[in-house]
Chains A and B, each alone.
Chain A
């Protein structure tokens, strides 16, 4: 019972706490961390459950960000035909959904590819994919403005009974929106991994030959997982683009993928709570350190903390905590049993 209520209590605290604190800086940190946590959750679906390491995951994030930005701003596309293709500005939510769809489409292609090339080759292909995306964003100046970045991206809007449709400029609203999307993504992943589909994904991670021998179409389920993960990363990118309201080719930088991998691995890959715990720890840590240490020292502490976690808790924080509790329960049960034996003897 408590195990069921605990996540919702956590959501409630996260929804009310920061607003109650009312500190704009804390809200900003939590919002950007939350966006990355959504990315990390989607990466966890691939890395943690299907066991495929995609080191180009930020590509889906960036594709979602750029697509959503371009659709909401409108663009014209000159592909050398007689008439350039012109699209006017679209409503922000249409743009947001468009970002998810295009990211999911690229997820489909990468998922198909993942079965031709596996292991180290897949890792290299995904890194290259993200780099190619960065080059496209940098050089297709007509469409993306290149290094000049896309500016003045409209924020997402929401309908409120007391205000009507309002654009979400305020940090509080953006924060709650990110939290809501994170909750939806969490529920989608939870339902998926606890279903027949999720068992097929884990089977692929644990033992691919055995999975095939019992009739699991591993190719298909890997593609399903990649499409969903890419769509979620695209949603995170859309949230980012309409929150920061500027997007440049640097969203495709490798360091962001690494950040998500760190969040997943330290929190506990293949666990539902892992990316959230790891994300909160390593998303907020730099901001906490900024208060107490010089910049150079900050990154040293960050790196040391990461190594310590990976070294002492190789499974990640969440499995370690879970094992500790399970071990304690066993010890308590054993002591109780021992007492009973003593009294009966």
Chain B
């Protein structure tokens, strides 16, 4: 698969020949793709194709067996996950991931960790700079909650939210970390159609704020509607890459998803 991009946009993320082996089992054989800045790129493929593994490699939760991941030229494969987040590469999780025992507001405030400077001594002495910072962060957290539409739940314990609201909160926490590149791992999983509809709006508005998005999603309507570019993985290899309309017509993709039988059905 070539790295060359036909579009003019410079890639914010480049995955180069990444391989992941779990003691003999090959999760990703060799994967290369690029994410242009400012776009929504979807990574799709059947279950077990290696999508979440790819996310784990990019965000430093898993060290690849080989290959490199470049974020604006910096190799991420050597960095710890919190350092990678500090560079502006932030992910959400496939399973709902929130700080269940904290209030919704504190969840977002915790997500803003990297934007604060206050350390132990500043906190103990309640320095003026620390108090000013707290004020700024609280205002920004309120703004993020309003953005995803959870302001009315700010004081509620996160664990008490409805499922769809928890998914939204997961995005709010990731947004609070001020991402340049946001990786969403099946954000619409388990949502009903109207919730998915609302979710697509949120994802598009995040892109409009200048955040590049890499999306893993099974809801094909969502993928085909909002993506600028789609990368298709199967058995740990990239089998197709391009704009949604091209991918939809690609016979390899149809075969990977629906199997051989589709030919007979069509014929």
* A associates with B: yes
In the complex, what residues of B have CB within 8 A of residue A211's CB? 110
Distance of A215 Cα from B179 Cα, bound (Å):
10
Contact between chains at B97 and A207 (CB < 8 Å) = yes
Distance of A195 Cα from B110 Cα, bound (Å):
10
In the complex, what residues of B have CB within 8 A of residue A228's CB? 120
Distance of A120 Cα from B144 Cα, bound (Å):
38
Binds B, one of A61-69, A73-81, A100-108, A197-205: A197-205
In the complex, what residues of A have CB within 8 A of residue B231's CB? none
B interface secondary structure, majority: helix
A191-B124, A192-B123, A198-B123 known; A214-B111 Cβ under 8 A: yes
Distance of A62 Cα from B110 Cα, bound (Å):
35
Distance of A240 Cα from B134 Cα, bound (Å):
38
A contact set with B: CB distance below 8 Å: 188, 191-192, 194-200, 202-203, 205-207, 209-218, 224, 228, 270
In the complex, what residues of B have CB within 8 A of residue A218's CB? 82
A199-B113, A202-B110 known; A214-B124 Cβ under 8 A: no
- Kindly report which residue of chain A lies nearest to residue B124, judged by CB atoms: A191
Q: Give 19 CB contacts A-B under 8 Å.
A: A192-B123, A195-B134, A196-B133, A197-B123, A199-B106, A199-B113, A202-B99, A202-B110, A205-B101, A206-B99, A211-B110, A212-B82, A214-B85, A215-B83, A215-B114, A216-B82, A216-B114, A224-B120, A228-B120
Selected from A192, A194, A214, the residue in CB contact (under 8 A) with B173 is A214
Specify which of B101, B110, B133 lies most central, judged by the most chain A CB atoms within 10 Å of its CB.
B110
| Contact mask for chain B residues 89-123; partner A; CB cutoff 8 A; 1 contact, 0 none | 01111000111111000100111011010111011
Contact between chains at A196 and B82 (CB < 8 Å) = no
Give me 9 other A-B pairs in contact (C-beta within 8 A), A191-B123, A209-B61, A218-B82 excluded: A192-B120, A196-B113, A207-B98, A210-B173, A212-B81, A213-B93, A214-B113, A214-B114, A215-B86
Q: Does B214 contact A (CB under 8 A)?
A: no
Distance of A278 Cα from B179 Cα, bound (Å):
43
How many B residues touch the partner, as a band?
35 or more
Distance of A218 Cα from B83 Cα, bound (Å):
11
Specify which of A209, A224, A270 lies most central, judged by the most chain B CB atoms within 10 Å of its CB.
A209
Distance of A217 Cα from B174 Cα, bound (Å):
16
B contact set with A: CB distance below 8 Å: 59, 61, 80-83, 85-86, 90-93, 97-102, 106, 109-111, 113-114, 116, 118-120, 122-124, 126, 130, 133-134, 137, 173-174, 176-177
Distance of A217 Cα from B111 Cα, bound (Å):
12
Q: How many whole Å from A80's CB to the nearest CB in chain B?
A: 39
Contact between chains at B130 and A195 (CB < 8 Å) = yes
Specify which of A210, A214, A218, A228 lies most central, judged by the most chain B CB atoms within 10 Å of its CB.
A214
In the complex, what residues of B have CB within 8 A of residue A192's CB? 120, 123-124
Selected from A203, A206, A212, the residue in CB contact (under 8 A) with B85 is A212
Specify which of A211, A213, A217, A228 lies most central, judged by the most chain B CB atoms within 10 Å of its CB.
A213
Q: How many whole Å from B129's CB to the nearest CB in chain A?
A: 12
In the complex, what residues of A have CB within 8 A of residue B92's CB? 213
Distance of A270 Cα from B99 Cα, bound (Å):
14
Selected from A200, A215, A224, the residue in CB contact (under 8 A) with B177 is A215
Specify which of B101, B123, B130, B137 lies most central, judged by the most chain A CB atoms within 10 Å of its CB.
B123
Distance of A19 Cα from B111 Cα, bound (Å):
48
Contact between chains at A209 and B97 (CB < 8 Å) = yes
In the complex, what residues of B have CB within 8 A of residue A270's CB? 101
Contact between chains at B59 and A213 (CB < 8 Å) = yes
A210-B98, A210-B99 known; A215-B85 Cβ under 8 A: yes
